[in-house]
Structure 1
Amino acid sequence: MQRTSLSLAAATAAATVLGAVAAVPGAQAAPQPPDATRPQPPSATRPLQPSAPPVTTTVAPGVTLTSMAFGRQDADDKWTVHVYLPVEPDGPLSSANTALGPRATADRVAAALRDKGFAPRVEEIRTPDFADRRAGTLGWTVRIGRYAAEAGASADLARVKAAGFAGGTRYTPQDGSDLRAPHKVHVMRVDLRSFGGSLDTAFGPTLKGTEKLTDLMAAAGATAGVNAQWFYNDAPGGLYVKDGRIIGSATQGRAGIRFSDGGRAFDVDTFRARVTLRAGGATAEIDGVNRIPGEVWNCGGVGGDLPTEKPQHDLKCTDDSELVRFTPEWGQPPSGAGAEAVLDASGRVIAVNASRGAAVPAGGSVIQATGASAAWLLAHLPAGTQTSVTEEVWDSRNSKVPLTAGTTILQVGPALVRDGRVSVNAVGDGILREGPDRTFTYNWTVRANPRSMIGVDDRGRLMIVVVDGRQAGYSEGLGIASAAQLMRQLGAREAMNLDGGGSSVMATASAGIVNRPSDSTGQRALGTVLLLRP
């Protein structure tokens, strides 16, 4: 194994140059309004500054892994008591559970705290510029004290709770706005011309279920890997096209990566999909593929979903009338009320059941129906009926994506870099939660978290990046906007966010896990992963 390092001065110079490269496209004579249809220039955020020489290891011919340290702890890094606010302005304080709220609500809670002898401060939380939403105020938080150690914040939090309030502790470098805080970044670059292998996706024996990255790597004989999609009900969420077949439901309009030829053709875009079932003269749109009927995680469904049909990350929408297709990749379909049609490999209906739960035949599928859709299925899919299923995917230009045998699409998001420019469609990708409770937006989008990302750099090399986080004093993590800035700083021409948090893990066959996952138990079991196969 070859190991090299750069001097700190050289690393700083490189970061400065990359930061300048990222800033040039954003130069404008005057501010322009956001346009969700085009990449936006990066904000004025400074590039991360190296605090130690990066170390590069050759993983395999054409594959390098660079571990980098940015920022450092300083005297401003403190623990604090974070007091929760009620959703309703006049709601009870002892059971409040939102991290931030309107200024009036924050002022009310702060006044109540002062009446109890505390010295609170009210702080404004702002979102940065996104491609489809200008920077602005997200809400207001209420905090008490600044402590050198978490124990001090925990002791005062106990006093706050005893006085009739709710809250938790926070480490201020993880607020997402301190780019001087410590960050550990692991960057894998893959020149597929030299590597000779391929980028691929993988999951366990079935889609329904989770496996650890290192186990999936060992089973595939992979050179390296990283976590991929988020997962719900122990199954991946979002559009999943593998070898030209849709095996996972689309979140309509969310970002994803499309690649073919083992990753040699690579693109970040937004995708929509339609799966159509035809039986005789009847036609129906399939609501979902390989997911629990009625549960539309991340929303963005095809019709009848509540409370919204727009993407909303980590929100479960519902639909009491659905047709859901199960393929052999899923495993055993769920049982329950409704109806189902069992189809053989040719699409012929070989069984019809008045409840759900039949196994998928080899090469065939099962169409499950709930609610009013069950009556449609029983009326139009009697045994012996010949059916056909059409799968279509469109990109952001409304062009149909050829679903060839080598095509893979993995929908995660949001997009971070498009055409060499920072571009995060926060509204379109559902990472700005609308409504009175914006805790999700604050915690997931604005605050610092572990992040995993994938992209391609200006030389056409694949980039797989993991930023450790939630580890006070070691690595705090990044907000989404800062993650996009980092990917551009590292030279990304296209980049997309993957699942993160405790799921963020990177490993190589030779070294094992190379980052430090944030869960105390180590690496999580995952729904899908991205692998470099030799």
Structure 2
Amino acid sequence: MHRNTLSAVAAAVTLLAVSAAPATAATPAATPAATPAAAPAAAPVAAPVAASPSGSFFGGKLPLSAPAVTTTVAPGVTLTSMSLGAKDAGDYWTVHVYLPATIDGPLNTAGTALGAREIADRVAAAVREKGFEPRVEEVTTAAFADRPAGTLGWIVRVGRYATSAEAATALSAIRAAGFAGGTRYTAQDGTDPGAPQKVHLLRVDFRQFRGTVGTDFGAALNGTEKLTDLAAAAGAVAGINAQWFYNSAPGGMYVKDGKLIGSATQGRAGIKITRGGRAVDVDTYTARVTLRAGRDSVEIDGVNRVPGEIWNCGGVGGDLPTEKPQHDLKCTDASELVLFTPEWGTPPAGAGAEAVLDARGTVTAVNASRGTAVPAGGSVVQAIGDSAAWLLEHAKAGERLRVSERIEDGRGRRVALTPDTTILQVGPSLVRDGRVSVNAAADGVIREGTDQTFTYNWTVRANPRSMIGTDSRGRLMLVVVDGRQDGYSEGLGVAQTAELMKLLGAREAMNLDGGGSSVMVTSGGGIVNRPSDAAGQRSLGNVILVRP
């Protein structure tokens, strides 16, 4: 909640809008950066400030609660750690009562975090009849580049508690009375610009740094590794988590060293890195992969993913329930062709068909089931459902199958994949051409349909976040904001994350995987931030590394 406005916020949880209108160029703040004596002397780094539109979350200035601390990680690579805001008496724990999906739905098994006003009023009345004192609060969304600000829904809450244990005790009583719910810490509602935050900013200045910035993964795409292990194996100066991952593999378009090794989420934001990190651009990307057998051709549905499962949706050719991007939603397709490259490892086994190709595209085997290893330099095309019949008919041992691909940017222009090209499709976009610009709907972080629980929890509420970008001086930016740690660092909503990146001086910026995956390491300091999972850092699908 906003500082010193507890009574007002108790009536409504309202998020401040973040405008997509242009902001003026960033200018340094007057706060000096402290450098530990043990570290090599570094030039003071001030917290940049940009003029923001009226109504912006931070009001055009980061609420530093202590001087920023900057250390030199390597020549041209600096790490700045910042503390924003502070815990205050206005932060408390509360019970969040879940709502049924329909006005007459059962209350004891309700599973939506928010809903229409009439549903919230019905639940509140039922809670009140059981002797509790509920509050009905409005949740609004910020203004995004492709969606105006407005009401997302209504929530029902009970009580104000100093500790999570007290809230948990109250939740047990509310559940015993016939309701479903959970506990929430109000500083994590995404409404408080003064909430405590720990921000870690790694800048790579290529005027001094002679190394490269690129991506890496473990022994195979189909598997996960910890950032500390990957960074140590590569001798990296620093690193950060990259794409989200599903079925133990990165999700979204992944181009590494000019080779497409991950399926596109059609039209979703991505970041293109060339010249070893010296050129960075945020855009939207689509990919079309075609398989040709003689005069016949067919579209390949995916690259290096489990056939039939399209995580984040945004696929091609009959995916259900939608072909539009929908973050963290698994769409399905019973008839698919999926290309596997050696980077994947051994493709999944199961019913269907497959064609094994050598490095020239010549078919070396055609199988009526799936699961053959990918030959060195070659590939395997797997098919399920009706697509299996097509593959068995057209793939003949000794003949060639031709795979072609076309990647396009947001203007429909073909993107050349040189050996120097890396593309990571994550999203949403945060800053484009120096302006806050979040395509929340197009990037699928606003859920289709009436149940907006995902939008509320992932997009609106505060969470740990990781970001990548570049500033007006061409310096690469890798950023982590810790979250879900009450009183230490609460995290940010997506709109607030975009504004943070703008205030840090980003000209281009994009969101990376976050939550428990958010982690940053340096060669001398190990894990820089405080990952939110109780077990510490997660194993990841892929990472971004700063190599000497």
Which interval holds the TM-score relative to the shorter structure? Answer: over 0.9
Provide, for residues 461-509 of structure 1, a one-character-per-residue CA deviation record: whole Å limited to 9, x for no partner.
0000000000000000000000000000000000000000000000001
Aligned residue for 1:192, secondary structure, equals coil
Q: Is the 8 A contact 2:57 2:496 kept in 1?
A: no
Q: Is the 8 A contact 1:42 1:422 kept in 2?
A: no
Partner Cα separation in structure 2 for residue 100 and residue 386 of structure 1: 54
Cross-structure match for 2:419: 405
Shift of 1:149: 1.3
**1:474 equivalenced with 2:481 (yes/no):** no
Q: Is the 8 A contact 2:463 2:514 kept in 1?
A: yes
Cross-structure match for 1:33: none
Runs of 5+ unmatched residues, structure 1: 28-40
- Aligned partner of 1:413: which letter? G
Partner Cα separation in structure 2 for residue 175 and residue 265 of structure 1: 36
**1:311 equivalenced with 2:325 (yes/no):** yes
Shift of 1:4: 6.0
Aligned residue for 2:68, secondary structure, equals strand
**1:146 equivalenced with 2:160 (yes/no):** yes
Query: Of 241, 245, 269, which residue of structure 1 is paired with 2:255?
Result: 241
Alignment of 1:51-66 (within 5 A): 51-66=65-80
Q: How many residues align?
A: 510
Provide, for residues 165-192 of structure 1, a one-character-per-residue CA deviation record: whole Å limited to 9, x for no partner.
0111100000001110000000000012
Cross-structure match for 2:532: 518
Query: Of 131, 135, 138, which residue of structure 2 is paired with 1:117?
Result: 131
Provide, for residues 398-427 of structure 1, a one-character-per-residue CA deviation record: whole Å limited to 9, x for no partner.
110011111110100000000000000000
Partner Cα separation in structure 2 for residue 56 and residue 243 of structure 1: 32
Partner Cα separation in structure 2 for residue 209 and residue 96 of structure 1: 35
Cross-structure match for 1:85: 99
Partner Cα separation in structure 2 for residue 44 and residue 2 of structure 1: 32
Query: Of 54, 62, 81, which residue of structure 2 is paired with 1:67?
Result: 81
Q: Which moved more, 1:491-500 or 1:379-388?
A: 379-388
Shift of 1:19: 3.1
Change (3 A) 1:134 1:488: same
**1:130 equivalenced with 2:151 (yes/no):** no
Query: Of 219, 227, 237, which residue of structure 2 is paired with 1:205?
Result: 219
Partner Cα separation in structure 2 for residue 44 and residue 473 of structure 1: 19
Partner Cα separation in structure 2 for residue 362 and residue 436 of structure 1: 48
Provide, for residues 186-234 of structure 1, a one-character-per-residue CA deviation record: whole Å limited to 9, x for no partner.
0000012211000110000000000000000111111100000000000
Change (3 A) 1:102 1:201: same
Change (3 A) 1:79 1:42: closer
**1:293 equivalenced with 2:307 (yes/no):** yes
Provide, for residues 30-64 of structure 1, a one-character-per-residue CA deviation record: whole Å limited to 9, x for no partner.
xxxxxxxxxxx977855330001110000000000
- Aligned-pair identity in percent equals 70
TM-score (norm 1): 0.94
Cross-structure match for 2:64: 50
Q: Is the 8 A contact 1:5 1:53 kept in 2?
A: no
Query: Of 19, 22, 26, which residue of structure 1 is paired with 2:50?
Result: 19
- Aligned partner of 2:241: which letter? N
Cross-structure match for 2:355: 341
Partner Cα separation in structure 2 for residue 288 and residue 73 of structure 1: 46
Provide, for residues 65-86 of structure 1, a one-character-per-residue CA deviation record: whole Å limited to 9, x for no partner.
0000000011100000100101
Alpha-carbon RMSD: 1.4
Partner Cα separation in structure 2 for residue 80 and residue 228 of structure 1: 33
Alignment of 1:58-457 (within 5 A): 58-457=72-471
Cross-structure match for 1:529: 543
Q: Is the 8 A contact 2:521 2:527 kept in 1?
A: yes
Runs of 5+ unmatched residues, structure 2: 1-38
Provide, for residues 220-262 of structure 1, a one-character-per-residue CA deviation record: whole Å limited to 9, x for no partner.
1111000000000000000001111110000000000001110
Cross-structure match for 1:2: 40
Provide, for residues 3-44 of structure 1, a one-character-per-residue CA deviation record: whole Å limited to 9, x for no partner.
6696xxx96xx45xx132xx2xx58xxxxxxxxxxxxx9778
Q: Is the 8 A contact 1:5 1:55 kept in 2?
A: no
- Aligned partner of 1:2: which letter? P
